[in-house]
Chain A
Amino acid sequence: MIVEYILFIIFAVVAIVSAGCVVTLRNPVHCAVALIITLLQIAALFLLLRSPFLAVVQVFIYVGAVMVLFLFAVFLIDVKKAAMDMFKPKYRALAYIVALILLVESLFVIFSGGIQELTRITEAGAEVKVEVIGRTLFTSYIFPFEIVSVVLLAAMVGAIVMARDKKE
């Protein structure tokens, strides 16, 4: 399907450009908005991969909850001052070299390895039903699920303890 290719290229290009904006823009608020755009593109890619449940989870949790937290944290700082200090000048060249080497390496591995031969056996377009995901999550994966819920509780308590005033 040619439409899928076009959609993939649009989503991928917008995701990469806005991810670049997250790293390069000076103002933290602009960085947050660029990150929101990237996360929405990734949700759209999940839809292309026939995972509508994960796309919805991505939009709800990342764009809805996490990014709002980020924007609240940005309000606490002096944006004008934060926009002044840009990249760390000393190690900048080193960081560029490390990133470039990693990029070349990983692209080489991806395009030379055996990943290309992987294609779906059954017809494309079949999506995993939410019911199946829920059933598996609560039967085979009940132990990791419980662990994750304890971690979530610990994080919640931890965040409250960290941000509380020590005076009372």
Chain B
Amino acid sequence: MIPLTWFVALSAILFIIGISGVLLRRNLIVMLMSLELILNSVNINFVAFSYYLEDMTGQLFAIFTITIAACEVAVALGILIALVKNRRTFNADDLDTLKG
């Protein structure tokens, strides 16, 4: 049987790749994709612990996480479409209107 540690380590590595994507990239779409990576790494943790603790709750929470991620993507892409209509840019650094 595969040790639980392997799954948790894989999920941590994916989480950190996602975080570095959000920190490094300035393209808003790629930043959103990195957010999806982060959410998926959390899902791996949920399902792995649910399997090893023989408790189904982790799977149910993974379903909820997937739903919330879908909501987040729908709203975020709606905002991006409104943005590209108004400002013609997808670079996070160009959007500094609120900066004093």
Interface residue count for A (Cβ, 8 Å)?
A: 82
When the two chains form their complex, are residues A62 and B66 in contact, meaning their CB atoms are under 8 A apart? yes
Instruction: Report how far A133 CA is from B66 CA in the complex, Å.
Output: 15
CB neighbours of B18 from chain A (8 A): 19, 23
When the two chains form their complex, are residues A16 and B10 in contact, meaning their CB atoms are under 8 A apart? yes
When the two chains form their complex, are residues B14 and A19 in contact, meaning their CB atoms are under 8 A apart? yes
Instruction: Report how far A58 CA is from B59 CA in the complex, Å.
Output: 12
A103 at interface by CB-CB < 8 Å: yes
- Say yes or no: A48-B71 contact (C-beta < 8 A), given A12-B10, A19-B17: no
A-B contacts, CB under 8 A, total? 216
When the two chains form their complex, are residues B32 and A87 in contact, meaning their CB atoms are under 8 A apart? no
Contact count band on B: 35 or more
Shortest CB distance B87–A (Å):
12
When the two chains form their complex, are residues A99 and B74 in contact, meaning their CB atoms are under 8 A apart? no
- By beta carbon, the residue of chain A nearest B46 is A54
CB neighbours of B36 from chain A (8 A): 35, 39, 62, 66
- Say yes or no: A16-B13 contact (C-beta < 8 A), given A4-B1, A77-B29, A133-B56: yes
When the two chains form their complex, are residues B75 and A162 in contact, meaning their CB atoms are under 8 A apart? yes
Shortest CB distance B50–A (Å):
7
Instruction: Report how far A72 CA is from B74 CA in the complex, Å.
Output: 12
Instruction: Report how far A31 CA is from B24 CA in the complex, Å.
Output: 14
When the two chains form their complex, are residues B32 and A22 in contact, meaning their CB atoms are under 8 A apart? no
- By beta carbon, the residue of chain A nearest B14 is A19
B residues bordering A, Cβ < 8 Å?
1-10, 12-21, 23-27, 29-30, 32-34, 36-37, 40, 43-44, 47-48, 50-54, 56, 59-60, 62-64, 66-75, 77-82, 84, 90-91, 93
**A-B pairs with beta carbons under 8 Å apart, 19 shown:** A15-B14, A23-B17, A32-B33, A45-B10, A49-B7, A51-B51, A62-B36, A66-B73, A88-B25, A88-B26, A99-B16, A99-B19, A103-B13, A118-B52, A133-B56, A141-B60, A151-B71, A152-B70, A155-B72
Q: A70-B29, A120-B1 are in contact. List 7 more A-B contacts (CB 8 A).
A: A8-B2, A23-B25, A35-B33, A58-B43, A120-B52, A155-B72, A162-B75
A residues bordering B, Cβ < 8 Å?
1, 4-5, 8, 12, 15-16, 19-20, 22-23, 28, 31-32, 35, 38-39, 42, 45-46, 48-51, 53-54, 57-58, 61-62, 65-66, 69-70, 72-74, 76-77, 82, 85, 87-88, 91-92, 95-96, 98-99, 102-103, 106-107, 110-111, 115-116, 118-122, 124, 128, 132-133, 136-137, 141, 144, 148, 151-152, 154-156, 158-163
